[in-house]
Amino acid sequence: MKINTRQRGNAFQDWCKVWLEEAGYTVHNQKTVARQFKKAGGSFWVSQRNDIFGCIDVIAMRKDEKPLYVQCTMDTGVRKRLDELSKPLWPFEYVEVQLWQKKGQVINIKRLNADGMLVDHAKILRRKFYLKKLDFELSTE
């Protein structure tokens, strides 16, 4: 059975949710859901649940930390995702906004900063988290 793009994206979103829960977060996973309605002459699809703020797939919270808003993607380009993430007026002093991008076996984590740029933050490789240091070396956190 061939898996379509939406199914692969939902599977990655589920993976992110599980990973965050294992890291001690309480997680809400907002999956897009569409339903097909039939009527005389054809059918049409209606979206019943969309991304939060039009761009967020997962919200995660952990005690004494800012809420984490995550967009999960398997797309290789991030320009469209950056445009989506830049639309809400994020209160960065209160929230953390990240893009989790799966490329092969690596999850690249980029932070959205107040200047509207995505900056490299961390990687997850073989379920292990590596934080990007200022000197661009990776270390386990």
**Model confidence at 138: pLDDT above 90:** no
What's the chain's length in residues?
141
Q: What is the pLDDT of residues 96-134, one digit of tens each?
A: 999 999 999 999 999 999 999 999 999 999 999 999 875
In this predicted model, what pLDDT tens digit does every residue of 26-81 receive, in sequence order?
999 976 656 666 777 777 655 555 666 777 899 999 999 999 999 999 988 889 99
Q: Please tell me whether the overall predicted TM-score, pTM, comes out greater than 0.75 for this model.
A: yes
State how far Cα 62 lies from the chain centre: 17
Domains and CATH numbers, the chain: 5-32+52-140 (3.40.1350)
Owner of token pair 């690249």: 108
CA distance linking residue 123 with residue 132, whole number of Å: 8
Q: How far is CA 108 from CA 53, 78, 127, in A?
A: 22, 11, 12
- Cβ–Cβ < 8 Å for 77, 14: no
